Amino acid sequence: MKKLVFASVLFMSVFFAQAQQVSINVNIGTPPSWGPQGYDDDRYYYLPDIDIYYDVVKSQYISDNNGKWVRESRLPARYRNYDFYSGYKVVLTDYKGDTPYNYHAKHRSNYPKGYQGKPQKNRGEKPAKSNNGKGQHKSGNKGNNKDKNSKQQSDKNHDHGNGNRR
């Protein structure tokens, strides 16, 4: 009887452990919406415009910090204004290890700043910028239709595309 109870407990623990593992793996390694379509199984992107790597599996940025490669879950402050949706992403399809920066000299040489390879389409749409109340007209500004109309005309003259490079 003890063997039957032990076998049941062992079976249940293995079953629940695998069920937990499946739910964890579903959420890890999802490419970001700014990532290029068609590369769901590749782990690293090299971003030549800012000279850093992105690890899709760990959702981490890998950057050179005074000669030492550092992994961070947030983009380093000096790159915070970088537009991932319009910047080119080099997908490292031929590398499977944990240290893509071992080939940094090669990557930097082959993909210099401003590099544009074949056209890319992002996995998702670029989020709309939130205005957070900046530049909004206050209600009650009577007689200010000229400013409102000129703003509408100005908006029509600007290109508000999604930022994808072709």
Higher per-residue pLDDT: 26 or 9: 9
pLDDT at res. 16 = 52
Nearest Cα neighbor of 102 from 62, 138, 137, 49 is: 62
Give the type of residue at 64: D
Give the pLDDT band of residue 29 (cuts 50, 70, 90): confident
Instruction: Evaluate whether residue 129 is within a structural domain.
Output: no
Instruction: Evaluate whether residue 93 is within a structural domain.
Output: yes
Count of domains for the chain = 1
Backbone angles phi, psi at 2, to 5 degrees: -60, -40
Q: Which domain holds residue 102?
A: 44-110
Instruction: Evaluate whether residue 166 is within a structural domain.
Output: no
For residue range 38-78, list pLDDT tens digits in order. 999 999 999 999 999 999 999 999 999 999 999 999 999 99
Rounded CA-CA distance 26/68 in Å is 32
Mean pLDDT of the chain: 76
Token match 């204004």: residue?
A: 81
Instruction: Evaluate whether residue 21 is within a structural domain.
Output: no
pLDDT at res. 144 = 44
Rounded CA-CA distance 105/69 in Å is 13
pLDDT at res. 137 = 44
Instruction: Evaluate whether residue 77 is within a structural domain.
Output: yes
Overall pTM surpassing 0.75 (yes/no):
no
pLDDT at res. 26 = 41
3-state secondary structure (DSSP) of residue 90: strand
Region 3-24: mean pLDDT is 52
Instruction: Evaluate whether residue 12 is within a structural domain.
Output: no
Instruction: Evaluate whether residue 104 is within a structural domain.
Output: yes
Q: List the single range of 39-48, 97-106, 113-122, 133-142 with lowest mean pLDDT.
A: 133-142
